[in-house]
């Protein structure tokens, strides 16, 4: 009886460990490819060649870079707070990894489906700002501290519009569970929240807000004022090298994939195929595989879109960034919330 229980517990733990490792490997591989793709895309947009020497077409470039990072000396500046300096990269990296738990990669392909999935996502990703602040402060360097300070005010300012934008599809669907939000968008491209124009015309506004605020939340150009290399050297991670720097780097790219996954899940139908005949008639394992393909395809389009934005737009100033959030995005988000709430209560067909 006791042995039975222990075996069950062991199996359960084993399952959790396997899922954690699979997610981690997926994250590493995705980031390796995203870094390469980013350098290719930016090179194309700036009429350069980009990495093309290491391996065929340069595909081994980021693997080589990663190898170089592992070999680098792990430097802790003598004025730094050793403990905080060491744990800061972990505080940034762990939330970026934990959010993958609830992402619905395909039909039945969620590590753990939570009925509060969307709040879990925004709650967990809000932790990483503490890591950024700690990293900047512990480095004992004025560029790092300035970067951390900017980062804190930026992330606080943009968390509110992100959540306001994410609430809109939640209100329309009536569920916080990401899987339910996706399954409510099945049946073709005109059922996706973004293109569901016969339903509620304010959804595209929420989509736009989520992309703008999300780009600021994940700290990429044009909103990368906390790293701003022309002003702050490298911002909060100026003093970092080797593995610790690699963790910051990994978290940043993992977050940009997460943003794509959130946008795709909430507005672009998640893992649903764009037309019913493109996989909607399948069931079971076959549909899981097809839906995984569609989810990845849409996410990569979103990732490419983010790369396009970050390679073409100039960096905003600190005050412009603050004004955009507090004076434009948050009021628009509140009005949108009010209107959508009224629509759901009074007019929405049940």
Partner 1 sequence: MHIFGLFITGYQVAFVAVAGLTVLAAVGVVLVPNILRAALCLGVMLMGVAGLYALMNAPFLAVVQVMIYVGAITTMIILAVFLSNRVMKIGFFQAVYNPLLAAAAAGVMFLFLLVTVANSVWVQGIVEKTPATKDVGVQSVATALLQPYVFPFELASVVLLAVLIGAVVIAKEDTADES
Minimum separation from the CB atom of position 71 to partner 1 (A): 31
Q: Check binding of 28 to partner 1 (CB under 8 A).
A: no
Q: Does 318 bind partner 1 (CB under 8 A)?
A: no
If binding is defined by CB under 8 A, does position 86 make contact with partner 1? no
Contacts 24+ apart (CB under 8 A), 330-337: 330/160, 330/161, 330/164, 332/205, 332/209, 333/160, 333/161, 333/164, 333/165, 333/206, 333/209, 334/164, 336/164, 336/168, 336/202, 336/205, 336/206, 336/209, 337/164, 337/167, 337/168, 337/171
Among 69, 94, 130, 296, binds partner 1 (CB under 8 A): 130
Q: What phi and psi, each to the nearest 5 degrees, are found at residue 330?
A: -70, -45
* By CB under 8 A, residue 133 contacts partner 1: yes
- By CB under 8 A, is residue 2 in contact with partner 1? yes
CA–CA separation, 306 vs 136, rounded Å?
A: 26
Site string for partner 1, 151-170 (x = CB under 8 A): -xx-xx--x-----------
Q: How remote is the C-alpha of 288 from its chain's centroid? A: 22
The C-alpha atoms of residue 168 and residue 156 are separated, in whole angstroms, by 20
Rule CB under 8 A: is residue 65 a binding residue for partner 1?
no
Measured from the CB atom, the residue of 63 and 94 that comes closer to partner 1 is 94
The nearer residue to partner 1, 33 or 149, going by C-beta atoms, is 149
Q: Per CB under 8 A, which region of 22-30, 72-80, 123-131, 270-278 contacts partner 1?
A: 123-131
Contact indicator for 54, 42 with CB cutoff of 8 Å: no
CB of 314 to partner 1, least distance (A): 27
| Cβ atoms 245, 135 nearer than 8 A | no
Q: Which of residues 171-230 bind partner 1 (CB under 8 A)?
A: 176
Q: How far is the CB of 12 from partner 1 (least distance, A)?
A: 10
Given 3-state DSSP classes, what are the helix, strand and coil percentages for the chain, each rounded to the nearest 5? 70, 0, 30
Q: In the complex, what is the shortest distance from the CB of residue 326 to partner 1, in angstroms, rounded to a whole number? A: 12
Residue written as tokens 């950024």? Answer: 132
Nearer to partner 1, 31 or 266 (CB): 266
* Number of residues lying near partner 1 (CB under 8 A): 32
Minimum distance from residue 116 beta carbon to partner 1 (Å): 5
The number of angstroms, rounded, from the C-alpha of 166 to the middle of its chain's C-alpha atoms is 13
User: Applying CB under 8 A, which residues contact partner 1?
Assistant: 2, 5-6, 9, 81, 83-84, 114-116, 119-120, 122-124, 126-127, 129-130, 133-134, 137-138, 145, 148-149, 152-153, 155-156, 159, 176
């Amino acid at each position: 009886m006791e042995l039975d229980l222990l075996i069950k517990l062991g199996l359960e733990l084993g399952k959790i460990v396997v899922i954690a490792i699979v997610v981690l490997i997926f994250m590493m591989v995705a980031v390796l490819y995203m870094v390469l793709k980013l350098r290719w895309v930016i090179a194309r947009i700036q009429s350069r060649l980009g990495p093309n020497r290491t391996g065929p077409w340069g595909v081994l470039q980021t693997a080589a870079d990663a190898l170089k990072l592992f070999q680098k000396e792990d430097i802790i500046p003598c004025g730094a707070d050793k403990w905080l300096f060491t744990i800061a990269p972990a505080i940034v990296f762990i939330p970026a990894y934990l959010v993958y738990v609830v992402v619905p990669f395909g039909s039945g392909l969620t590590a753990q489906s939570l009925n509060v999935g969307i709040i879990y996502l925004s709650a967990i990703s809000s932790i990483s700002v503490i890591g950024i602040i700690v990293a900047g402060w512990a480095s004992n360097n004025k560029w790092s501290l300035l970067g951390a300070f900017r980062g804190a005010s930026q992330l606080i300012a943009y968390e509110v519009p992100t959540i306001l934008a994410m609430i809109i599809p939640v209100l329309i669907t009536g569920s916080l569970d990401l899987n339910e939000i996706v399954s409510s968008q099945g049946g073709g491209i005109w059922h996706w929240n973004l293109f569901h124009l016969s339903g509620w015309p304010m959804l595209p506004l929420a989509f736009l807000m989520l992309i703008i605020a999300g780009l600021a939340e994940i700290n990429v150009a044009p909103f990368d004022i906390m790293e701003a290399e022309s002003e702050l050297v490298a911002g909060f991670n100026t003093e970092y090298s080797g593995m610790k720097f690699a963790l910051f780097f990994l978290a940043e790219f993992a977050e940009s994939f997460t943003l794509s996954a959130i946008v795709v899940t909430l507005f672009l139908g998640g893992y649903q195929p764009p037309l019913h005949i493109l996989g909607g008639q399948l069931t079971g394992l076959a549909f899981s595989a097809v839906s995984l393909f569609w989810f990845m395809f849409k996410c990569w389009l979103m990732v490419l879109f983010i790369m396009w934005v970050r390679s073409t737009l100039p960096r905003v100033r600190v005050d412009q960034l603050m004004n955009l959030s507090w004076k434009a995005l948050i009021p628009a988000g509140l009005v949108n919330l009010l209107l959508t709430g009224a629509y759901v209560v009074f007019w929405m067909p049940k």
